[in-house]
Structure 1
Amino acid sequence: MVQYVDLPEIQFTVEDAADIQQNVITVYEGLTGRTLQPADPVRLFLSSLATIIVQQRVLINQTAKGNLLRYASGPLLDHMGTFQGSERLEASAAITTLQFTLSIPLSSATGIPSGTRVGAQGGDGSIYFATSEYMEIAAGATSGTVTAACSTAGTAGNGFLPDQVNVLMDQLPFVQAVTNLTASSGGATAENDDAFKERIRTAPDSYSTAGPQGAYEFWAKSTSAAILDVHAYSPAAGKVTIVPLMVGGQIPGQDVLDAVAEKLEDRGIRPLTDQVTVTAPTPISYDTTLTYYISRSRAAEVPTIQAAVTAAVAAYQLWQRSKLGRHINPSELIARVMAAGALRVVPTSPVYTALTPLQVAQEGTTTITYGGLVDD
């Protein structure tokens, strides 16, 4: 399938203001048989009309181009998605696995109601996790686990480490303690236009129920707006492995992997004979160590350039970890630092490293050294 980013620019009508103005004046002069001088009131009037025509041409181009996937945005993109059976993913809440522990084993099952709230240690209760379903601790057992979702959709619930969500806000008889077993993850803002465009473009792959690679990747991405990239492959006949990557290049936790696996269990998605496994990508660590120099002619800009270089390195690291299988490429780092204002860049690390689609680059230590001013 041809990607829309590879298509040439398109313009439905000419927007050149000087050309439109000249055409209006030429037509008038041809019809009236008189020549309009630069200060002629009629010429000035026609020039004002030409301005309105230029504005209309611009609107025509914007409206017509908005009907194409490459240029569509906002509500128009939402309408375009309905033609493919796709909807923009709403903001998703972070999830984690909670373990409830009883003070003593009981002779009967103990129910944990759906919606039971558990807050973070040291928090003020504004952000808490609520159990997603009813769970029972079997008779004679003292603990059970259940998935819980953050009360606030978005990224606010991400990053709570195991044992940090442990304040029971709804008291339950015989429940002595509760804690999260997994780091909370999966929270994301609503799907942005670029991500939604890509899902619309690949939506036709989802029409097949025979298990093609594109269909598995489409449905895996449809699990949550927090999923940035997906790679699907078959290691053996009848077996399929799905490798998702989170927004910001984060490695997905077990809760997110389970959510993707549950999504792909739908009978309309997974062929009966496919055994699907969802696994996290393998992180490949690299260090960032470089020395950069600034032109002596830009001495007055040194503080600004230093800040820009630091931002450029951070942007490079985000770019590096934002796609599965993206090779670790120091040339990209050099280009970004030079674009930030450095005259010369001497990187010690990283070195070029080829990755597979099952791997993702993850930055380690970062050492940025300013080498001083040098002559051009």
Structure 2
Amino acid sequence: MAQSVEFPDIQFTVEEASEIQQNIVSVYEGLTGRTLQPADPVRLFLSSLAAIIVQQRVLINQTAKSNLLRYASGVQLDLMGEFQGSERLAASAAITTLQFTLSIPLSSPTAVPEGTRIGVQGGDGSVFFATEEYLEIPAGVTTGTVAAVCSAPGTTGNGFLPGQLNVLMDQLPFVQSVTNLTVSTGGAEKESDEAFRERIRTAPDSYSTAGPQGAYEFWAKSTSAAILDVHAFSPDDGKVTVVPLLVGGQIPGQDVLDAVAETLEDRGIRPLTDKVTVMVPTSVPYNTTITYYISRSRVSEVPAIQAAVTSAVAAYQLWQKSKLGRDINPSELIARVMAAGALRVVPIVPAYTALTATQVAQEGTTTITFGGLADD
């Protein structure tokens, strides 16, 4: 699997303003034999030229660096992906499973057309779910299930609990009720530069059809922009288990697992002898309880620092659950709170906990206590 290596920042040309200006002045003085004083009009004119050259140097650096995967962004990154045969994933819509219930058993099959719309009680109809395929409820049966996708791509359709989607917007004969059986998940915005860059970096792993770990992880991530991280492993000969994690550290629902399984079922991806199972990561809950103090010399900044500390704790919790197998690390929490302006931090929990590659940390209760002002 391709690994990201840490390299120092690269600069193709010098863009230090003082150095460029001094070079221009030195060349002029060498050619003319004159010494330019700070207020000399010629020196001021040369300084204005130096500003233009500095801007050009900055553009040269940006343009050259955008040819490297580490620094490319936007359209340049899209073109790099094209070279590797990868495309940026578009915004994905949330999915769920719907159950239609008839008022009575019928002697003939009942059709639920593809695209039948279902909304939420009390909603304005701007956001709804539509069935992805034709559903036929057999004769003598009163219920049938079918997958449905949100009308609005992105995170809008995420989080509808079972039973919340229950308004049939397209009336169908003999259909008494409809409801979602699963939490709607899988909605995400267009793939970010960071996520797309990582997929491009691992794209060579996908060239093999022999079932390497990197290929399974690449193709699983390619299912949807909502999939943030994936771990694939072989628990036994001929068996592969794939564990996806969604953006924001969300645990995927069954609908997302089914979508990933469908992607990996492609014969150009899965070796014929591999039995692939897609499963959710194991949640490892932890609570967050800290007490922090602020320097007495920064008393005027107390409200701002308190807000920054609250944001730092939230950012830590998001970081903690944004990667499979990331150990629960209180040192990271302390570092972020200190950077937010705290003088010292007393964490009670969480304690350091090592996680396996199929586990993900999930925050529980959060208690943040301001201990008061303290001397440096």
TM range (shorter): over 0.9
Contact 1:117/1:130 (<8 A) preserved: yes
Q: Secondary structure at the match of 2:15?
A: coil
The structure 1 segments of at least 4 consecutive aligned residues displaced by more than 4 Å after TM superposition are 1-5
Tell me what 2:364 maps to: 364
Determine the structure 2 residue equivalent to 1:51.
Answer: 51
- What is the deviation of 1:40? 3.1
Relative distance call for 1:252 and 1:149 in structure 2 (3 A) is: same
Q: Where does structure 2 lack aligned partners over 5 or more consecutive residues?
A: none
- Which position in structure 2 is the counterpart of 1:105? 105
Partner residue in 2 for 1:16: 16
Task: After TM superposition, list the pairs within 5 Å mapping 1:105-254 onto structure 2.
Answer: 105-254=105-254
Q: Displacement, 1:2?
A: 6.3
Are 1:4 and 1:69, in contact at CA under 8 Å, matched by a contact in 2?
no
1:4 and 1:70 in contact (8 A); partners too: no
Q: Is the 8 A contact 1:313 1:337 kept in 2?
A: yes
Work out whether residues 2 and 205 of structure 2, in 8 Å CA contact, stay in contact via their aligned partners in 1.
no
Where structure 1 has 5 or more consecutive residues not aligned to the other structure, the ranges are none
Partner of 1:300: 300
Q: Do residues 327 (structure 1) and 327 (structure 2) align?
A: yes
- Among all aligned residue pairs of Structure 1 and Structure 2, give the percentage whose two residues are the same amino acid: 81
Please say if residues 313 and 333 of structure 2, whose CA atoms lie closer than 8 Å, have aligned partners that are also in contact: yes
RMSD value, Cα: 1.3
Q: SS of the residue aligned with 1:6?
A: coil
Aligned to 1:32: 32
1:276-355 to structure 2, matched below 5 A, reads 276-355=276-355
Q: Structure 2 CA distance, aligned partners of 1:156 and 1:193?
A: 21
Shift of 1:3: 4.4
Q: Does the aligned pair in 2 maintain the 1:291–1:368 contact within 8 Å?
A: yes
AA at the equivalent of 1:208 = S
Q: Is the 8 A contact 2:90 2:225 kept in 1?
A: yes
The CA deviation at 1:272 is 0.6
Distance 1:155 1:2, change over 3 A: closer
* Structure-1 separation of matches of 2:312 and 2:29: 56
Counterpart-to-counterpart distance in 2, 1:138 and 1:267: 32
Looking at structure 2, the residues matched to 202 and 255 of structure 1 have their Cα atoms a distance apart, in angstroms, of: 26
Q: Partner letter of residue 27 of structure 2?
A: V
Contact 2:2 2:201 in 1 (8 A): no
Taking the aligned partners of 2:34 and 2:3, their CA distance within structure 1 comes to 53
- The one-letter code sitting in structure 2 at the alignment partner of 1:282 is T
Give the TM-score of the pair, scaled to structure 2.
0.97
What residue number does 2:274 align with?
274
Q: Which amino acid letter does the alignment assign opposite residue 198 of structure 1?
A: E
Mapped to 1, the partners of 2:165 and 2:111 lie a distance apart of 20
Aligned residues of 1:5 and 1:70 also touching (Cα < 8 A): no
Question: Which amino acid in the other structure matches residue 204 of structure 2?
Answer: P
Q: Is the CA contact (8 Å cut-off) linking 2:287 and 2:365 kept in structure 1? A: yes
Q: Kindly indicate whether the alpha-carbon contact (under 8 Å) linking 2:2 and 2:202 is maintained by their aligned counterparts in 1.
A: no
Deviation sequence 1:129-161 (CA, Å, 0-9, x none): 000011111122111100000011111100000
Task: State which drifts further: 22-31 or 255-264.
Answer: 22-31
Normalised to the residue count of structure 1, the TM-score between the two structures is: 0.97
